[in-house]
Amino acid sequence: MGAMIQCAVLLLIGNVFMTFAWYAHLKELSHKPWIMAAILSWGIALFEYLFQVPANRIGYTVMNLGQLKILQEVITLTVFVPFALFYMKEPFRMDFVWAGLCILAAVFFIFRPQIIQMLQ
């Protein structure tokens, strides 16, 4: 498996943990003191870092820092939208589409040299 794919898979797994650490307490622990939510989120975030750190190290061997960050943002949005819709029961909004298009534009610009090279 190539370094970029390994990186993306690890980032995807890490982002699932991150999304739950950041937002699931809003639904599940809203009636509990915030400190309990913070401690639980911190514990979940440990698992995020167990995937995120190796992902970034692997990804940095084939991408520059800007590319790595944009890949992270694409994956974050890919995880967040289904989380918001299905877990948090948020209504679908066109803002998700517009944000996705902006992220796709960022992907194009940050990976432009590789895209141009592939097309030649």
pLDDT in tens, 6-28: 999 999 999 999 999 999 999 99
Chain-centre distance of CA 15, in angstroms? 4
Q: What is the domain range of residue 65?
A: 3-119
- Nearest CA-CA partner of 53 in 66, 78, 39, 72: 72
Maximal C-alpha separation, the chain: 58
Angle between helix 65-82 and helix 3-19 axes, rounded to 10 deg:
50
Total domains in the chain come to: 1
Q: Give the pLDDT band of residue 58 (cuts 50, 70, 90).
A: very high
**pLDDT average, residue stretch 98-120:** 90
